[in-house]
Amino acid sequence: MLNHRLLPAALVNELKVIFGDRFSSTAVVLDYHGRDESSYPAQPPQAVVFANSTEEVASLVKLCSLHEVPIIPFGAGTSLEGHVLPIHGGISLDLNNMNQVLGVYPEDLIAIVQPAVRRRQLNDELKDTGYFFPVDPGADASIGGMAATRASGTNAVRYGTMRENVLALVVVTAAGEIIKTGTQAKKSSAGYDLTRLFVGSEGTLGIITEITLKIYPQPEDIAAAICSFSTVTDAVKAVMQVIQLGIPVARVELVDALAIQAINRYSKLTLNEQPTLFFEFIGSSHSVKEQAELAQEIVSNHGGHNFEWAAHPEDRARLWHARHNAYFACLQLQPGCRIINTDVCVPISRLAQCIAQTRQDLDTSWLKATILGHVGDGNYHVLLVIDPDKPDDLVEAERLNSAIVHRALQLGGTCTGEHGVGMHKIDFLVDEHGIGAIEVMRTIKKALDPKNILNPGKILKI
Amino acid sequence: MLNHRLLPAALVNELKVIFGDRFSSTAVVLDYHGRDESSYPAQPPQAVVFANSTEEVASLVKLCSLHEVPIIPFGAGTSLEGHVLPIHGGISLDLNNMNQVLGVYPEDLIAIVQPAVRRRQLNDELKDTGYFFPVDPGADASIGGMAATRASGTNAVRYGTMRENVLALVVVTAAGEIIKTGTQAKKSSAGYDLTRLFVGSEGTLGIITEITLKIYPQPEDIAAAICSFSTVTDAVKAVMQVIQLGIPVARVELVDALAIQAINRYSKLTLNEQPTLFFEFIGSSHSVKEQAELAQEIVSNHGGHNFEWAAHPEDRARLWHARHNAYFACLQLQPGCRIINTDVCVPISRLAQCIAQTRQDLDTSWLKATILGHVGDGNYHVLLVIDPDKPDDLVEAERLNSAIVHRALQLGGTCTGEHGVGMHKIDFLVDEHGIGAIEVMRTIKKALDPKNILNPGKILKI
């Protein structure tokens, strides 16, 4: 295993021949590829290669395999868990030149994209077709990165996650072979589900260079509403009932009182500063009305008040923009702060209990903390506000995160609903799955990447 | 590799100690476990073990691993592709004693079942809860077998396949370790997606002994209808538009004229003997009405006629019962015949072309053949009627199947939408995925089952 030594000269020479000035080791480029949105200190790679094609990725991987040098795929750099940090050195593979929407096939409800296509870019390109891609993690992440971390977000309650919305992939294996997983057929029983194996594998089993996605007709009608509650528990209980009755909400998001304060300040809004649910309903006009009436009734029964509709598209956009910017709003809660973001997901019947106990934990801490969540899926985030200059803050944040994760696991949940494992949840993963299942993962990793060159040190310690 | 030799005496003695009279090698038991619904000749195992628990399965696997003896899981025996045939000898592991619904958790939309629970049994047990399990392959298959083959059926167009509806598994690995894949959380980004890897692995990577399933609220309202067309192509084009517009039909099935004849005779009905679509719409009364009106308009625009509603539950049951019995009805088309059932699935934009060309192929053959299909997913079956005493019939059926598969692959489809690979589609799998992807599957198989004791000779030739 190479560890922070210089790259072999032979490799560098070969890469310069293939990639020319798309091979870089200038300090500013290295520095940019050594960080993401996590609170880990930057760890620059030894070099960065900007690939233009699947074939170029394959060439790079073959050379790196020969020289046993790690490769870390890099897209938008929006990971929250240190996914793109080259902690064992090696080459950061920047895929941002591979940013084309290769094809849109509305008649098959499919779009085919290169890995660096951003979520917003894709939807901009789809706009005039009458279709859209629903998975929306908030950040303007790359589709490749979203596939690699099995991302989801606000729309997952209705449309599912990247697990459900990736139909097929082109992947470069650790040996530099180019393979296709899956077809354009909507379903298949043809052998092992390699697509789902690579989705969520965080660049450790292969490098995703093309993604076939499901797309959906733009809804005929959309309605959004917000609603306040006296307590987070009341809000969560309302959501539980909405889900259990099978009301097909498009989004239902919880934002706690402190986060609403932050949002008001950041987005210059005057929302009622109480625990709040953000709803979105889609469908035909009739169906939207029906869903909304049912949801409103449930919400009222749980003490929801100030139910307010965002009737105009601009009002709706303002609302969701505010929700999406909650992370940045919370960064303003304390000057110069950073945020440690937790990401557990529990069975929805345990959600109210889980969040209430979490709130008790948070109340005993000196750290500011807000709770946000894709509560329709049982997934919530605690944004723990830390001063990067105070080591105790980080220790305290990790203590709280650990308590939150272990509570979620005890309640039948997962340590990460959508952010992935990266470097941050490797130990929690063992607690969640047990040593036996982790050994199966390790066996797969060793078999598919015997030299451990693909994003080493992520998901599993090997 | 053991191949049809007698079992090691030491193994037999140990199994008799553990399983007592649940270890059997009587001829009638062996014979029963050597066949399924495929047209392969029976190949009895050397012995059958009836396991009562996951722990017993683990003990069996440990012993078989020690003695390098194959294990073939056996449930309902409804496979169409030879999945349960012990072609390399060994022990058939009958799981039918493990037939308990372990828990129903409507508040989390989850049920946990043992592998031999049958589809109908599960829905009978769910009936009073107000929830149901939608995946419906027609046969009263076991849930374990359905998970192992990534089964689907008529409801998949709305609810997805076993890929989307299995949340977590308990699996016994080839080393006899018991592992849990997944949690009860609705979504997760926690490491490799072992659940989806075992779903569809046909008993070749591990033995599924417990399944956590998604369940759904029973729909408020249901409506079914049938509608005739002059040509199969018109019918398929109508379905294509229904799907492309995103109308959330619960089922939409194609049955061609000859199959309708067979159904009329078998189920004593008087359906119009033309290509026919069977529709089911579910939801609130409003939504059902809305969907049905839209679908009816589309259908009319494509020359659909005799649109008939099955308003009463009994009428609906009769209709779907008839559709589900189409296979048995077609078995009556020729006395003493067997059926070879194809199973391709293509992107829906290619479906009309694909079926029309297939019909041309069939018209040049002496075999009787009907076309049935879950056409909303692009999946259709050709039921090829053969005389088991005429070897030429089988050769001709396989020739037609091969042509159908290769056409589907050329159109971006898959060789099997829902039946699985078994022994029957091993070569087609290579054509579909390419050697590179097959090598990745083989690497995974070798890593997870190095002695090749788990259902050897299925999915991959090793």
Of B185, B189, B445, the CB nearest to A346: B185
> What sections of A3-88 are H helices per DSSP?
9-19, 27-32, 54-67
Q: Which residues of A touch B149 (CB under 8 A)?
A: 189
> Residue B101: pLDDT band by 50, 70, 90 thresholds?
very high
Asked whether residue B213 carries a pLDDT value surpassing 80, the answer given is yes
Residue to test with chain B: of A104, A152, A188, A243, most B Cβ within 10 A? A188
Of A184, A189, A432, the CB nearest to B418: A189
Percentage of chain A surpassing pLDDT 90? Answer: 92
Residues facing B73 on adjacent strands:
B93
The Cα–Cα gap between A298 and B133 comes to 25
Q: Which residues of A touch B428 (CB under 8 A)?
A: 190
Task: Count CB atoms within 10 A of the CB of residue A40.
Answer: 17
Residue to test with chain B: of A171, A187, A432, most B Cβ within 10 A? A187
Of B106, B437, B460, the CB nearest to A181: B437
CA separation, residue B103 to residues A332, B129, B161 (Å): 46, 12, 21
- Angle among Cα B253, B257, B259 to the nearest 5 degrees reads 70
The Cα–Cα gap between B299 and A456 comes to 55
The Cα–Cα gap between A251 and A242 comes to 11
Q: Which element (helix H / strand E) includes A103?
A: strand A101-105
Tally helices (H) and strands (E) across chain B: 16, 18
CA separation, residue A70 to residues A64, A90, A446, B456 (Å): 7, 5, 14, 35
Say whether A150 and B193 touch across the interface (CB within 8 A): yes
Structure tokens at B85: 């045939």
Task: Count CB atoms within 10 A of the CB of residue B7.
Answer: 19
**Mean pLDDT within B209-217:** 97
**Mean pLDDT within A443-456:** 98
**Mean pLDDT within A13-37:** 96
The Cα–Cα gap between A203 and A449 comes to 11
From B122's Cα to the closest Cα of chain A, the distance in A is: 19
The Cα–Cα gap between A379 and A362 comes to 17
> Residue B4: pLDDT band by 50, 70, 90 thresholds?
very low
- Angle among Cα B188, B191, B194 to the nearest 5 degrees reads 90
Task: Return the biggest CA–CA distance within chain B.
Answer: 70
The Cα–Cα gap between A196 and A181 comes to 9
Structure tokens at A167: 């139909």
Q: Are strands B47-50 and B91-94 parallel, antiparallel or unpaired?
A: parallel
Q: What is the pLDDT of residue A4?
A: 42
Q: Please write down the long-range contacts of B440-444, taking CB distance under 8 Å and 24 or more positions apart.
A: B440/A173, B440/A179, B440/A194, B440/A448, B441/A191, B441/A192, B441/A194, B443/A447, B443/A448, B444/A192, B444/A197, B444/A444, B444/A447, B444/A448, B444/B197, B444/B205
Of B190, B379, B440, the CB nearest to A187: B379
Asked whether residue B357 carries a pLDDT value surpassing 90, the answer given is yes
Estimate to the nearest angstrom the gap between the alpha carbon of B198 and the chain centroid. 15
Q: Which element (helix H / strand E) includes B179?
A: strand B178-181
Segment A154-211, tens digit of pLDDT: 999 999 999 999 999 999 999 999 999 999 999 999 999 999 999 999 999 999 999 9
Of A196, A197, A421, the CB nearest to B190: A421
Of B188, B345, B432, the CB nearest to A416: B188
**Mean pLDDT within A217-241:** 95
The Cα–Cα gap between A79 and A37 comes to 6
Burial B104-142 (b: 16+ CB within 10 A, else e): bbeebbbbbbbbbbbbebbbebbeeeebbbbbbbbbebb
Of B185, B201, B349, the CB nearest to A105: B349
Domains in chain B (CATH in brackets) are 9-94 (3.30.43.10), 101-217 (3.30.465.10), 219-332 (3.30.70.2190), 334-446 (3.30.70.2740)
Of A197, A284, A347, the CB nearest to B197: A197
Q: What is the pLDDT of residue B181?
A: 98
Say whether A186 and B378 touch across the interface (CB within 8 A): yes
By the 8 A CB rule, do B379 and A187 touch?
A: yes
Say whether A177 and B447 touch across the interface (CB within 8 A): no
If 0-12 CB within 10 Å is exposed, 13-18 middle and 19+ buried, where does residue A223 land? buried
Lowest mean pLDDT segment, chosen from A65-69, A296-300, A315-319, B416-420: A315-319
Q: Which residues of B touch A189 (CB under 8 A)?
A: 149-151, 200, 343, 414, 416-421
Of B183, B284, B447, the CB nearest to A414: B183
By the 8 A CB rule, do B437 and B459 touch?
A: no
> Residue A3: pLDDT band by 50, 70, 90 thresholds?
very low
Q: Which residues of A touch B156 (CB under 8 A)?
A: 187
Q: What is the pLDDT of residue A42?
A: 93
Say whether A416 and B345 touch across the interface (CB within 8 A): no
Asked whether residue B5 carries a pLDDT value surpassing 60, the answer given is no
Which residue type does B404 have?
A: I
Of A107, A192, A440, the CB nearest to B244: A107
Segment A233-265, tens digit of pLDDT: 999 999 999 998 989 999 999 999 999 999 999
From B375's Cα to the closest Cα of chain A, the distance in A is: 11
Cα dihedral A114, A115, A121, A123 sign: positive
Say whether A185 and B429 touch across the interface (CB within 8 A): no
Averaged confidence pLDDT in chain B: 95
Strand boundaries in B398-455, DSSP class E: none
Which residue type does B248 have?
A: P
The separation between the first and the last C-alpha atoms of chain A, rounded to the nearest angstrom, is 10
Q: Are strands A207-214 and A110-113 parallel, antiparallel or unpaired?
A: antiparallel
By the 8 A CB rule, do A85 and A35 touch?
A: yes
Of B184, B432, B439, the CB nearest to A183: B432
Q: Which residues of A touch B459 (CB under 8 A)?
A: 191-192
Q: Please count the residue pairs, one from chain A and one from chain B, whose beta carbons lie less than 8 angstroms apart.
A: 286
Segment A86-105, tens digit of pLDDT: 999 999 999 999 999 999 99
Structure tokens at A129: 């077709």
Q: Which residues of A touch B199 (CB under 8 A)?
A: 193
From B177's Cα to the closest Cα of chain A, the distance in A is: 7
Task: Phi first, then psi: give them for residue B381, nearest 5 degrees.
Answer: -115, 140
From A262's Cα to the closest Cα of chain B, the distance in A is: 28
For B240, name the nearest residue in chain A, comparing CA atoms only: A107
Of B201, B284, B436, the CB nearest to A192: B201
Q: Which residues of A touch B433 (CB under 8 A)?
A: 179-181, 190-191, 194
3-state secondary structure of A52: coil
The Cα–Cα gap between B240 and B349 comes to 7
Segment A367-425, tens digit of pLDDT: 999 999 999 999 999 999 999 999 999 999 999 999 999 999 999 999 999 999 999 99
DSSP string of A354-384? HHHHHHHHHHTSSSEEEEEEEGGGTEEEEEE
Closest of A126, A321, A202, A4 to residue B189, by C-alpha: A202
From B301's Cα to the closest Cα of chain A, the distance in A is: 18
Count of residues for chain B? 462
Q: What is the pLDDT of residue A428?
A: 98
The Cα–Cα gap between B49 and B72 comes to 10
3-state helix, strand, coil in chain A (%, to 5): 40, 20, 40
From B412's Cα to the closest Cα of chain A, the distance in A is: 5
CA separation, residue A374 to residues A33, A239, A284, B96 (Å): 30, 10, 24, 40
**How much is the pTM?**
0.97
By the 8 A CB rule, do A186 and B377 touch?
A: yes
By the 8 A CB rule, do A263 and A326 touch?
A: yes
From A388's Cα to the closest Cα of chain B, the distance in A is: 27
Say whether A415 and B190 touch across the interface (CB within 8 A): yes
> Residue B196: pLDDT band by 50, 70, 90 thresholds?
very high
Residue B66, sorted as left (phi over 0), alpha (psi -120 to 50) or beta, turns out to be: alpha
Say whether A347 and B173 touch across the interface (CB within 8 A): no
Q: What is the pLDDT of residue A409?
A: 98
Residue to test with chain A: of B186, B247, B455, B462, most A Cβ within 10 A? B186
Closest of B201, B387, B231 to residue B303, by C-alpha: B231
From B449's Cα to the closest Cα of chain A, the distance in A is: 10
Say whether A448 and B446 touch across the interface (CB within 8 A): no
From B70's Cα to the closest Cα of chain A, the distance in A is: 20
Averaged confidence pLDDT in chain A: 95
Asked whether residue B145 carries a pLDDT value surpassing 90, the answer given is yes
Q: Which residues of B touch A432 (CB under 8 A)?
A: 183, 190
Residue to test with chain A: of B104, B131, B177, B187, most A Cβ within 10 A? B187
Estimate to the nearest angstrom the gap between the alpha carbon of B202 and the chain centroid. 11
ipTM above 0.95, yes or no: yes
Task: Return the biggest CA–CA distance within chain A.
Answer: 70
Q: What is the pLDDT of residue B170?
A: 98
Burial A16-36 (b: 16+ CB within 10 A, else e): eeebeebbbeeeebbebbbbb
Strand boundaries in B229-323, DSSP class E: 251-255, 276-283, 305-310
From A307's Cα to the closest Cα of chain B, the distance in A is: 24
The separation between the first and the last C-alpha atoms of chain B, rounded to the nearest angstrom, is 10
If 0-12 CB within 10 Å is exposed, 13-18 middle and 19+ buried, where does residue B326 land? buried
From A357's Cα to the closest Cα of chain B, the distance in A is: 18
Name the one residue in this structure whose structure tokens are 């209709």: B319
Helix axes of A257-267 and A313-324: crossing angle, nearest 10 degrees: 120
By the 8 A CB rule, do B84 and B36 touch?
A: yes
Q: Which residues of A touch B448 (CB under 8 A)?
A: 440, 443-444
CA separation, residue B248 to residues B244, B245, B280, B282, B389 (Å): 10, 9, 10, 8, 45
By the 8 A CB rule, do A80 and A65 touch?
A: no
> Residue A2: pLDDT band by 50, 70, 90 thresholds?
very low
The Cα–Cα gap between A384 and A389 comes to 15
